[in-house]
Structure 1
Amino acid sequence: MINSTVKKQAASRGHKNHMNSKSHSIVDPIVQLRTVAASAFFGEPMYYQPESNTTDRSFVEKSHTPHKHAQYLDHIMNTELTIPEWHSHSPAKLMEVAIDEALDFDPEATLKEAVRLRREENIRTTPQVIMVRAANHEKVRGTGLIRQYAKGILARTDEAAVQLAYQIQVYGKPIPNALKKAWKGFLETRDKLQIAKYRMENRAFKTLDVVNLVHAKGEIIDQLMKGTLKLDETDSWEAMISKNGSTKNNWEKAIDSMGHMALLRNIRNFIEKGVSEDLYIKKLVDTAAKGKQLPFRYYNAHTQVKGIASARILDAIEECLELSLGHLPQFNGRVISLADNSGSAQGNHNSKMGSVKTSTIGNLMAVVTGKIADDGYIGIFGDNLEILPVRKKDSILSQVKKADKIGNNIGMGTENGVWLFFEEAIREKKHYDHIFVYSDMQAGHGGLYGIKPVEYSDYIFPKTGRHIDVPKLVNKYRKEVNPNVMVYLVQIAGYKDTLVPEFYDRTYILGGWSDKLLHFANEMNQNRNGQGNGL
């Protein structure tokens, strides 16, 4: 546990975020790792993080600071606040630092988090990086922890080769024995399809390289080593299509051996080849509940085929999204989700290959949150703010697309909409039981300029002149409107910033893109008398 002195320090200290504003770092390293890892893929670009360890940035948020104030504010912020070293890290380095800090703090809790990320959040690469860094960490060597947690972290055959590649790239040789034993035991349990499908033959480090290194044994392993391991066309749909060609007849034959993810990703192929909808729609829907796909995958699929798909197909994708969310908790009372549609959120995508913006992910999760509330709302914010009721009988995706459209014209500043929300909620005594903020958390104390500063003079952060104190706004709302309001800050871009201190009363730090974060929020709500720590 983190003692009260650390909590008190956490509540008071701050640093400059990428908007040159005051934000707070997350103190508990496990919470920090969970927040960063669940809301970004390892090594993928972030809006503010450079691709390499330099301070150059590809994008700069539009600033609305009057020119005559810029030099003064820069001087003030440089004397009052510091820029943490990690702000110049690449996305990969940022993740590595979070992992190492967690390992220093609690190695076993870190490995448990790796298992949770792999099995519950369905994140592939980051858990492998955690396991390799743990195996090389002085607090883990010789403890047996790698052996204990490897089975939960290694899931797909190629992940052993991913770990080997990372080990050689970062640490070189010798390779920890704990890793080699884990790889050997893992590979010896794989069946023919699992080995053949993930040979990694076009990569620098192949599954065969791992086999040779650890001396794995078995009939399938022997076939791999001799080069005789072959997949029959009946073994996998990929083998069938590869051997026989991408034709209507072959796709129809392949459907029986396709899982949910494969069906979802190949809807366009089915449509373009004229495959009968009767052959795949029912299976697509029936497998959604256990399909382990993040919600934004369905948004992406829907967007990709919208121009060529029938209403029946689009409805099926929507139904899959609903089913994939499983049994979500219900949030009582009035719930609002503030969704970041600022320049940083709209300028960042979830991966180099992905086409879904961070702002869309936030809008999607905000709509889902509103759906499971007694009375749910989404507040789309940037320079301005627009609040909409979330309709239970309207489709999730149609409401997300509406929010995206509004977000395109909401303004490029990060913070002002947050101020507008609290100002109106306090002034008009608008009661909310839960407030979610889905954001990259670059909204801090700086850059929050109202039209009439006299109206928010009670909320100006000391010595900044016009910068609004967000924790004080939350506190004022609790004093004036609802003392029991729960506030959940959800990091959706992988940064380590948050709007208020980690241990601020009844305020919880979460991260990620899946329905799991709503289960966490519900757990916090059930324990509302405790101090918030995001766990």
Structure 2
Amino acid sequence: MSKFNTTASRASGSSPVKTERRPSGVTHEGAPGYVRDAKGELFLLAVSNMVGEDTFYERARDRDDRFERLVHQVAVEDGEWLSRFLPWLRTTANMRTAPVVAALEAVRARLAAGLHGLNRQLVDGVLQRADEPGEALAYWTSRYGRAVPKPVKRGLADAVRRLYNERSLLKYDTASKGFRFADVIDLVHPAPAADKAWQGELFAHALDRRHDREGKPIPDSLTVLRARAELAELPVEERRAVLADPGRLAAAGMTWEALAGWLQGPMDRQAWEAVIPSMGYMALIRNLRNFDAAGVSDEVAERVAARIADPEQVARSRQLPFRFYSAYRNAPSGRWSRALDRALTLATGNVPSFGGRTLVLVDTSSSMTGGAVSRRSTVTPAQAAALFGVALAARGERVDLYGFADGVFRHEVGRGAPVLEEMDRFCKRIGEVGHGTQIADSVRRTYEGHDRVVILSDMQTMSGYYGAEVTDTAPSHVPMYGFNLQGYRRAAMPTGSGNRHEFGGFSDATFRLIPLLEAGRSAGWPF
């Protein structure tokens, strides 16, 4: 009798997040827990770590300390790996604070170990927005004082040359910041970029405005700043007339926040319609409710919707997918829903369209619903998990989607269904089957010969009523993918080989590894 040469046999690939083969501890809920290697633990923590935020099982300080220890270890053991990972974390996984903190802590650890290569590049590679050099300096000085090492300064100077321009000065150089543009310039002494003849005068002007040198005129080369200054000199009673010329507002780098203060009056339909053409993508999706409240015209709304659904703008925006769900919930009218659903589809392009039969389980327990993913968000980890679960169901061939906690509930989603609408319907059922985390029992109750199992959870399962471990609840030849949305230390099953794999995060970035594994190939790091 054949044990291995059967129609069910398939090639088994390896994946990068690896654990020990036997449990050395327990999950937060007491089930057998498998410790990952340092890179795997850092990877899963980083792709879900908002920094300074409590989670259900970890206080912010404990979580940040664990993150810091892992960064220090990996920075010394394999700086090359980290130099690839951190830019990917910032630009592809769309995390903002974690890569900045990691880069600075990595440089500190490497300098302490006498390692001097890569450090400048580590810092420069994670800074992608003009307010981030100041953010990085604020972090460093609050932790380690005003003595900033040369590699950090040089990396910051490289970023300043890339990122500082007139519009970024107007947007981010505000009195609310502890480190203004001039403070960064004073500390890191960047030379102007060779291909930006105006940048030297921009640096000088930033210093003048920081130090209240009001007598100096704005240089002629800084046309955006001069245009803004002209608008600022207009009498208040004449300013609303400028709304008839949106191009003038755009030329002056006028954001909607600045416009509201400059007008010293209401942001009514006329004001919104004047500034909408020059608004950034994130500003658009955050203000859909305001557009409706002000009564912007259908013609303008159609242009906004077209921008929201534009593939290039979605890609450039680097929005985490759950941001579109937040916008969908906040917008009171239906005229945005199709565009937001299209944008979400584009933002989750790496979520695979499985063939065959797929079992998808979304964790709706208390640990996934007890708080938002960050203080600035109202979306919970359970809702983020539901987003991916519904996307899998809408794209797959034959997908059985379940929510689970102490029990399970089946949720029907038709192929090609609108993800946001179906996700909203799914989320209304959260709490329906209790509040515990019974992963093993939930798989046992729902597995019926499926070709694969996908579990979207924090993976901190209870031991289960039947005593089975998660990994044993489906046959060993059936791939089981854990998608981890919190990155706690111990895994619920051994991963990295043998058809048991783990990914994670709040973006779709790591889903791109699954097609490789489905093809029987090994999947390395996604960067």
Residues 188 and 221, structure 1, Cα contact 8 Å, conserved in 2: no
Contact 1:440 1:493 in 2 (8 A): yes
Q: Does 1:201 align with 2:175?
A: yes
Amino acid at match of 1:263: L
What is residue 432 of structure 1 aligned with on the other side? 450
Tell me what 2:500 maps to.
Answer: 507
Cα 1:127/1:328, change in 2 over 3 Å: same
1:350 deviation in Å?
Answer: 0.6
Paired residue for 1:318, among 338, 341, 349? 341
Instruction: Give the 3 Å change call, closer, same or farther, for CA 503–288 of structure 1 in structure 2.
Output: closer
Give 2:289's aligned residue.
268
The aligned residue for residue 250 of structure 1 is 271
8 A contact 1:41–1:351 mirrored in 2:
yes
Given the alignment, which residue of 410, 414, 422 partners 2:444? 422
The 1:515/1:170 distance shift into structure 2, 3 A limit, reads same
Higher relative contact order (CA 8 A, sep 6+): 2
1:284 partner amino acid? I
What is the Cα deviation at residue 515 of structure 1?
Answer: 1.8
Residue 220 of structure 1 aligns with which residue? 202
Q: In the TM superposition, what are the counterparts of 1:181-196 in structure 2 within 5 Å? A: 181-189=154-162, 190-196=164-170
The alpha-carbon deviation at position 115 of structure 1 amounts to 0.3
Checking the alignment, whether the CA contact within 8 Å between 2:351 and 2:391 is kept in structure 1 is no
Choose which of 54, 67, 71 in structure 2 pairs with 1:95.
Answer: 67
Counterpart position of 1:134: 106
Aligned to 2:39, what secondary structure does the other structure show? helix
Query: How many pairs are equivalent?
Result: 458
**Equivalent in the alignment of 2:240:** none
Q: Matches of 2:142 and 2:22 in 1, distance apart?
A: 39
Shift of the alpha carbon at 1:328?
5.0
Please say if 1:47 is aligned against 2:50: no
Q: Secondary structure at the match of 1:136?
A: helix
Instruction: For residue 428 of structure 2, give the secondary structure of its aligned residue in structure 1.
Output: helix
Give the whole-Å Cα distance in 2 for the aligned partners of 1:412 and 1:470.
Answer: 18
Distance 1:141 1:157 in 2: 30
| 1:391-441: CA deviation from partner (whole Å, max 9, x where unpaired) | 1232112221222222221111101x531432553xxxx222221111111
Does the CA contact (< 8 Å) of 1:237 and 1:254 recur in 2? yes
TM-score, normalised by the number of residues in structure 1: 0.79
Out of 20, 31, 34, the residue aligned to residue 43 of structure 2 is 34
2:48/2:504 contact within 8 Å kept: yes
The unaligned stretches of length 5 or more in structure 2 are 1-13, 192-199, 219-224, 229-248
- 2 CA distance for matches of 1:534 and 1:504? 17
1:384 has 2:407 as partner: yes
Letter of the 2:459 counterpart? M
**Structure 1 residues 473 and 443: alpha-carbon distance in aligned structure 2, compared to 1, 3 A threshold:** same
What residue number does 1:58 align with?
A: none
RMSD across aligned positions (CA): 2.6
- Alpha-carbon distance between aligned partners in 1 of 2:336 and 2:445, rounded to the nearest angstrom: 44
* 1:443/1:10 CA distance change after superposition, 3 Å: same
Query: Which secondary structure state, in structure 2, belongs to the residue aligned with residue 510 of structure 1?
Result: strand
* Counterpart residue identity of residue 143, structure 1: H
Which residue of 1 is the match for residue 3 of structure 2?
none
What secondary structure sits across from 1:406 in the alignment? coil
Shift of 1:173: 4.4
Cα distance in 1 for partners of 2:437, 2:180 equals 44
Separation in 1, partners of 2:368, 2:421 = 20
Q: Which moved more, 1:164-173 or 1:379-388?
A: 164-173
SS in 2 for 1:195: helix
Q: SS where residue 137 of structure 1 aligns?
A: helix
2:92 to 111, 120, 131: 120
Quick one: which of 26, 30, 36 aligns to 1:20? 30
The alignment partner of 1:419 has SS state of helix
C-alpha distance in 1 between matches for 2:362 and 2:324: 19
Question: Counterpart of 1:57?
Answer: none
Alignment partner of 1:359 is 2:382: yes
Q: How does 1:332-351 map to 2 (within 5 A)?
A: 332-351=355-374
* SS of the residue 2:309 aligns to: helix
Q: Equivalent residues in 2 for 1:229-308 (5 A)?
A: 230=225, 232=228, 233=249, 234-238=252-256, 239-244=258-263, 245=265, 246-279=267-300, 280-286=304-310, 287-305=313-331, 308=332
- Report the CA distance between 1:531 and its aligned residue: 8.6
- Deviation digits for residues 302-329 of structure 1 (CA, Å, limit 9, x no counterpart): 1112xx31x2222222222223334654
User: Which range is displaced more, 230-239 or 168-177?
Assistant: 230-239
State the secondary structure of the residue aligned to 1:337.
strand
Letter in 2 for 1:164: L
Percent of aligned pairs with the same residue?
26
Q: Structure 1 residues 383 and 370 mapped into 2: Cα distance closer, same or farther (>3 Å)?
A: same
Q: 2:108 aligned with 1:145, yes or no?
A: no
Closer, same or farther: CA 517–237 of 1 in aligned 2, 3 Å: same
**Residues 323, 339 of structure 1: CA spacing in aligned structure 2 closer, same or farther, 3 A cutoff?**
same
**1:332 aligned counterpart, secondary structure:** coil
